[in-house]
Structure 1
Amino acid sequence: MLPDTITRYLAAHTARDADAAIQWFADDATVTDEGRTHHGADEIHAWLSNGATEYTYTAELIAAHRPDAHTYVATHHLEGDFPGGTVDLDFVFTLDDTDTTITSLAIAPPGKP
C-alpha cells in the first residue's frame, strides 16, 4: 500500500496538473528522470509542466513495495506515442520522516538506477 502523499501525487501527475503535483514535494526535493536531475520546486514544476505536453500516454500502476522505512517503489506500465510505445517504469519515492512530503523521486526502468 502506498501512502496518501504518493497516491495524491500520482493522481495529480496522471491528470497532468503540475500545480497540484508540486505541492507534495519538499522545497529542496530532487527528481531524476531520463538521466536528468531537477533540483528544487521551480525546476520540478517546470519538469512536471513540460512532461505533460511532450507525449500522450496512459499509465497503470502494476506493482508497489516498500524496500525501507522512507522509500516506496511504484511500478507503472506506460503506453503512448513516445519512442518505443510501451515501457515499465519504477517511480522510486523517498519521503520525509512523517511520510507527508516527497524529498526525492527517481524514475527509471526496473533494475536501473
Structure 2
Amino acid sequence: MSLELPIPIAAYVAANARLDIDGMLAPFAADAVLRDNGAVLQGHAELRHLFEEAVVAVRAIFTPDTVRHEDDQVVVEGPAHGDFKGSPIRFTYRFTLENDVIKALEITA
C-alpha cells in the first residue's frame, strides 16, 4: 500500500530510506524546529548533526504506514528499523508544513 504523503514529507521519507543527509535536510525550512526525545533543535546545522548521529550512524530508516491530518499538522506513523537498541521502534512524526517546506517536526515513540 502506498501512502499519499505531501511532497516535502515524501521527499524526507525517500531520502531517509537512502540515508541521504542532504536529501533529508532539503525539505526543511532553513529555520525549521525539530523536537525529538526532549531535545529541541533548530536550523539545518543542528538538524544535520542529529541526522548524522541518530539516523545515519545507526542506519535508522523510518517506514510510514499511516498518515492523517490533525489540526494544522500531518501525522505520520510507522516503524523505524536500524542498528539501535529496541529496533524496530514505532514512531509518530507530527509535521507542520508551510509554503511547501517542513517548518516543524515533533518525533515521539
With normalisation by structure 1, the TM-score equals: 0.82
CA RMSD of aligned residues (A): 1.6
- The one-letter code matched in structure 2 to 1:6 is I
User: What's the offset of the Cα at 1:58?
Assistant: 4.5
Whole-Å Cα distance in 1 between the matches of residues 88 and 14 of structure 2? 20
- Is the Cα–Cα contact under 8 Å of residues 33 and 41 in structure 2 kept in the other structure? yes
Whole-Å Cα distance in 2 between the matches of residues 61 and 107 of structure 1? 13
- Is the Cα–Cα contact under 8 Å of residues 13 and 62 in structure 2 kept in the other structure? no
User: What's the offset of the Cα at 1:50?
Assistant: 1.8
Aligned to 1:32: 35
For structure 1, the residue ranges without an aligned partner over 5 or more in a row are: none
Change (3 A) 1:43 1:93: same
- The one-letter code matched in structure 2 to 1:89 is F
For structure 2, the residue ranges without an aligned partner over 5 or more in a row are: none
After TM superposition, what 4+ stretches of structure 1 lie above 4 angstroms from structure 2? none
Aligned to 2:58: 55
User: What's the offset of the Cα at 1:49?
Assistant: 1.9
Whole-Å Cα distance in 1 between the matches of residues 27 and 48 of structure 2? 11
User: What's the offset of the Cα at 1:75?
Assistant: 0.3
Matched residues, number: 106
Aligned to 2:74: 72
With normalisation by structure 2, the TM-score equals: 0.85
- Is the Cα–Cα contact under 8 Å of residues 33 and 107 in structure 1 kept in the other structure? yes
